A and B are shown apart, each in its own frame.
Chain A
Amino acid sequence: MEQTEIQEKIFAYMQQMKGKKKLKEKDIIKKIMEDTSQDKDTVKKALRAMIDVGKVMYSYGGGSSSVEIPSEEYLKEKGLI
């Protein structure tokens, strides 16, 4: 499976869960491993590549870290769009 394909699945899952549950990196990797039968390292690599370009980002709240889809406002502040 191409990395872009895995990344599309990651993004779709994150969009689906937005506002329902704060997803930790581990939650996302576990779910996509199940859905795609890819190994942990491959999924993690795909997710990290998205984090590196700001497609998704680490967040902090409620005493722990999670991964979220950034708002347009934040991306503007960061100069990414």
Chain B
Amino acid sequence: MSLPERQTDIGPPHYEKFLPPIVKKNYGKWAYHEVLTPGTMVHVAEGGDKLYTVRVGSPRILSTDTIREICDLAEKYCDGYLRFTTRNNVEFLLSDQKKVDPLLAELKAKKYSVGGIGPRISNIVHTQGWVHCHSACTDASGLVKAIMDELHDYFTTKALPNKVRLAVACCVNMCGAVHCSDIAVVAIHRKVPVIDDVNVGKMCEIPTTVASCPTSAIRPNPKTKSITINEEKCMYCGNCFTVCPPIEIHNPEQDGVAIVVGGKVGSLRTNPKFSKLAIPYIPNEPPRWPSTVAAIKNILDVYAANAKKHERVGEWIERVGWEDFFKLTGIPFTFQHIDDFTFMRDTMRNSAAFKY
């Protein structure tokens, strides 16, 4: 069978091909929107046209079977038009209000999770994990599933003071904006890598490997044509493993996850913020990571009980102070919480005013 002729550098198809007629007509002319339920909203155009959006969660890993099912639903209820969000939700776009309830009914019958709009949690942005990544030191999809099961009501119904953006990164490379999330899990190593001298010599460029270390812990070792690692300087980031895989950083019994909190990307009210360390280490507990899930639930509950309306997690913590955050959540404060990498100057307290 002959193949069609390939084309190169054509780029993606133009988005206009995929816009529902109501969107094309009102492009740039939307007046306002209202959140109708945790999973539905309506956008109203200046001329009065109404576009209804129904949002459902997805595990991000989707089989072609499920995508076909989603396509069938889109054809049945929204003339085949749909989109995905940056947080991996599916959005059905309806111009006919009468079809909203029947769509919701069918989604419910098919056990889709409808929600994620407004002051609650949305889908968890995450990475590939053991499913598909060479540098993963936890499984992102499994953690996400376990966390979303526990927090499911905060996706489908319950409200919070403001939206809470969750993320999971399966190593410190952080493919996704984990470093600026309200609550995020990042998998970490805690042991100096083990060097396979023979293969380092064969497979790796020594100068590149030396240069890869952010703490200058790596030196060339001319005797072995390999490298040595200064154990006192190594912070287990794994960047040397990335440039030179025979430097084995994985240590299944010692690898685990850290929890960081208080980040955001929007400029609303306060500046965008990095997430900061809340819990330095929880062991990997597949298949359902109960300690990690419980720790996140605790932080979310304390936030929900203490934050003012519209305060994001980071804004609440900055208002009450980190000393209060650790007191209220009961999370122990450790040496790992004090920055000794790049941000120490900015993070130590230089004031005589603080709380107990």
Direct contact of A and B (CB under 8 A): yes
Q: Does B196 have its Cβ within 8 Å of any Cβ on chain A?
A: no
Query: Do B205 and A22 touch (CB < 8 A)?
Result: yes
The smallest C-beta distance from A58 to any residue of chain B, in angstroms, reads 14
Chain A, residue nearest B207 (CB): A21
Q: Which of B236-261 contact A (CB under 8 A)?
A: 239, 242-244
Contacts of A62 in B (CB 8 A): 204-205, 208, 242-244
Query: Do B242 and A63 touch (CB < 8 A)?
Result: yes
The smallest C-beta distance from B221 to any residue of chain A, in angstroms, reads 18
Q: How far is the CA of A62 from the CA of B239 in the complex (A)?
A: 9
Query: Do A63 and B243 touch (CB < 8 A)?
Result: yes
Contacts of B204 in A (CB 8 A): 62
Contacts of A22 in B (CB 8 A): 205, 208
Residues of A within 8 A of B (CB): 21-22, 62-63
Please provide the 4 A-B residue pairs with the shortest distance between their CB atoms, ordered closest to farther. Answer: A62-B243, A63-B242, A63-B243, A62-B208
The smallest C-beta distance from B59 to any residue of chain A, in angstroms, reads 28
Query: Do A21 and B242 touch (CB < 8 A)?
Result: no
Contacts of A21 in B (CB 8 A): 205
Chain A, residue nearest B239 (CB): A63
Q: List 13 A-B contacts (CB under 8 A).
A: A21-B205, A22-B205, A22-B208, A62-B204, A62-B205, A62-B208, A62-B242, A62-B243, A62-B244, A63-B212, A63-B239, A63-B242, A63-B243
The smallest C-beta distance from A24 to any residue of chain B, in angstroms, reads 11
Q: How far is the CA of A63 from the CA of B242 in the complex (A)?
A: 6
Q: How far is the CA of A63 from the CA of B135 in the complex (A)?
A: 11
Contacts of B212 in A (CB 8 A): 63
The smallest C-beta distance from A17 to any residue of chain B, in angstroms, reads 11
Q: How far is the CA of A62 from the CA of B205 in the complex (A)?
A: 9
Chain B, residue nearest A22 (CB): B205
Inter-chain pairs besides A62-B208, A62-B244, A63-B242, 10 sampled, C-beta below 8 Å: A21-B205, A22-B205, A22-B208, A62-B204, A62-B205, A62-B242, A62-B243, A63-B212, A63-B239, A63-B243
Chain A, residue nearest B242 (CB): A63
Q: Which of B167-218 contact A (CB under 8 A)?
A: 204-205, 208, 212
Q: How far is the CA of A21 from the CA of B212 in the complex (A)?
A: 16
Contacts of B243 in A (CB 8 A): 62-63
Chain B, residue nearest A21 (CB): B205
Chain B, residue nearest A62 (CB): B243
The smallest C-beta distance from A81 to any residue of chain B, in angstroms, reads 19
Chain A, residue nearest B209 (CB): A62
